[in-house]
Structure 1
Amino acid sequence: MQEDVIEKIILKTVDIPSLPPIAMKVMNLIQDDYASLSVLEETISRDQGFVTRLLRIANSPYYGQDRKIEDIKQALLLIGFETLKSLVVATALRDLHRKFDAFEQRLWEHSLGVALCSSLIAMVTRLAKPDEALVCGLIHDVGKTIINNSMPDVYPKVYEKMYETGETVRDIENEMFGFDHTVLGALISKKWKLPEKLEMVITYHHTYPFPDYEDAAFADICNIVRVADQICNNIGIGLKNPLDIPIDYVSLDLTEEALVELIGLFKIKFEKQKDTLLS
């Protein structure tokens, strides 16, 4: 009953867009056991913007290929269907950033930072696949993007209050709207029929320990994104100034020395790779 009430509040306050048609078609094809690579390639080729981003990411330093990927088929073979499924959603998310003013730029930069940091943590800890962690980090704050799109004159005030009072974004969202970005994100995940792993990360990237009533198989990736988010907040990625918050590296079985090394490596990777996904 409480969920129904919150959903009504959300739908009165926020305009939840549909996943773009090209994204829905590709998602359906990927989940169809009988869909051929050629059909998938032909469908993707209809959206030049998506093709451009797909090839840019396939050729990014993240994938570390010695040869240039020049067509969709090569990119699909390199990236794989599961990563492509997430990439479709991430591309749709990028398209949601319509205005790209200074505040929206910071929101996107933070998501990108969490994506790259999550991928690095996954690689170091071996608790998840780095490419899956990348996209989970990229989409974790989709709720914030949707709220900002619906209330562009109001949502930046959430962050201004955070800087002034030190309250968390979620607490301020609940005070101002009656829900927070993770609750909205869970609703969006269901409306868009996202893969369950993405839904879990969007919903529980601030939750630790992971809820017993959910599938524990997703606990590690949710925790990776949670700690990556803490790291990015702590060093000010996507913020006007860094937040002095603890980083729960112990939950990932990392030492303080390993954390310092990881953060140093992350800063280098972020500067090298951010342009790939920011553009």
Structure 2
Amino acid sequence: MQSPALKHLIAGSTELFSLPDIYFQLSEMIRDSRFSLADIGKVIAKDPALSARLLRIVNSPFYGFQARIDTISRAIAVIGIDDLNNLVLATTVVDRFGKIPCELIDMTSFWIRSVQCAVIARLLAKHSAVLHTERLFLAGLLHDIGSLVLSQKMPEQYLKALLAANHDRRLLAGFEQSLIGFTHADVGRELLKTWGLPESLYETIGCYLHPADAQVHKLDAHLLHMASRLADSVGQAEGIEAAIEEFSKQSLILVRLSGEQIGSIMEQVDGEFLQMFELLAPNKKFH
């Protein structure tokens, strides 16, 4: 049940936090059988910067294709229209929201962690035999988008939550709930709903803090929960092992991964993260 305060917050955020027209145009074309893959490719090709970025991503070691992909239509044929649409969304979101000035959040650090979470979520999903892992990449990239909304629209209340949690992300959601009445995950879920994104995405993000609450997309919610916690552990003194120990036996069984497998997966993260961060956020300096 959406609270009136949350409903009001989202209603007042749609102008600042809106998706570019090209995403909605592509989504409509994908749902309409009258449009071919070539038609969809032509629309993307009208944006040279976006086309070039997408082709760089598809040709990167992140995908590992042997033959070079030199056209958008070929990219669609190789990775599929849904996954390419997810990449369009990922790329345009970083472009659009990366420019939002924010006094409470270091935006470069925000996107570093978001891309880390996205890469980890995709790797976990891949080793968990999930099909179409790009949706987990997108979920990881967008899972904290509600924090941007709170920092822009409720800066005083959000600052109180940040200070109460001493900027510890493991504690932040609890203070958001007690001081604001809802969490950044709740905000993210409702924002993604207003964007018309799939339930598989908004339920996963809405439930990632408490994945057992997911009704339909429970596996995705557990994978995103793990990815977020692992992203928080990168560079921390207690490290990745401590994060893995927090995962319940039930969660590990559900995602079909052992602690040892997750540890091995995390060894792959740095290389893939650097590739994707440079491709998605070329104007931001990694530090």
TM-score, L = length of structure 2: 0.81
RMSD, aligned CA: 3.1
Residues 62 and 275 in structure 2, CA contact (< 8 A), matched pair in contact too? no
Q: Which residue of 1 aligns with 2:285?
A: none
What are the residue-to-residue correspondences of 1:119-138 with 2, within 5 Å? 119-138=122-141
1:30 shift after superposition: 1.2
Q: Name the aligned partner's letter for residue 247 of structure 2.
A: D
**Worse overlay, 14-23 or 104-113:** 14-23
Report whether the alignment pairs 1:222 with 2:221: yes
Shift in CA distance, 46/266, structure 1 to aligned 2, threshold 3 Å: same
**Counterpart in the other structure of 2:44:** 44
- The partner residue of 2:185 within 175, 182, 185 is 182
Q: Is the 8 A contact 2:6 2:187 kept in 1?
A: no
Q: Which amino acid aligns with 2:97?
A: L
Structure 2 counterparts to residues 124-203 of structure 1, below 5 A:
124-150=127-153, 158-163=161-166, 168-203=171-206
Asked if 1:107 is matched to 2:110, the reply is yes
Where do 5+ consecutive residues of structure 2 fail to align? 283-287
CA contact (8 A) 1:224 1:252 kept: no
Decide whether the 8 Å contact of 2:157 with 2:180 is kept in 1: no
Assess if the C-alpha contact under 8 Å between 1:186 and 1:203 holds in 2.
yes
> What residue is the counterpart of 1:27 in the other structure?
27
Q: Distance in 1 between matches of 2:186 and 2:210?
A: 12
Q: Is the 8 A contact 1:14 1:146 kept in 2?
A: no
Aligned length: 273
Residue of structure 1 in register with 2:97 after alignment? 96
Structure 1: segments with no counterpart, 5+ residues: none
> Relative to 1, partners in 2 of residues 1:169 and 1:82: Cα closer, same or farther, differing over 3 Å?
same
SS of the aligned residue for 1:168 comes to: helix
Deviation at 1:183, TM superposition (A): 1.5
| Identical counterparts, % of pairs | 25
Alpha-carbon separation, structure 2, partners of 1:235 and 1:138: 16
**Cα distance, 1:3–1:161 mapped onto 2, change above 3 Å:** closer
Given that 1:6 and 1:179 are in contact with CA atoms closer than 8 Å, whether structure 2 keeps it comes out as yes
The amino acid of 1:23's aligned partner reads Y
Greater shift, 170-179 or 58-67, is seen at 170-179
Contact 2:204–2:220 at 8 Å: present in 1 too? yes
**8 Å contact kept, 1:227–1:247:** no
Distance 1:51 1:272, change over 3 A: closer
**Distance across 2 between alignment mates of 1:168 and 1:123:** 29
* TM-score between both structures, scaled by the size of structure 1: 0.83
Q: Is the 2:188–2:205 contact (alpha carbons within 8 Å) kept by the matching residues of 1?
A: yes
Cα contact 2:57–2:276 (8 A) shared by 1 = no
Q: Secondary structure at the match of 1:60?
A: coil
> What are the superposed Cα offsets for residues 24-51 of structure 1, whole Å, 9 maximum, x if unpaired?
1011111112211222122112223321
Matched residue type, 1:62: F
1:18/1:258 Cα in 2 relative to 1: closer, same or farther (>3 Å)? closer
Q: Contact 1:119 / 1:134 at 8 angstroms: preserved in 2? A: yes
AA of the residue aligned to 2:106: F
Q: Is the 8 A contact 1:16 1:188 kept in 2?
A: no
User: For residue 262 of structure 1, what is the amino acid of its counterpart?
Assistant: I
Decide which moves more: 256-265 or 166-175: 166-175
- Partners in 2 of 1:222 and 1:67 — Cα distance? 34
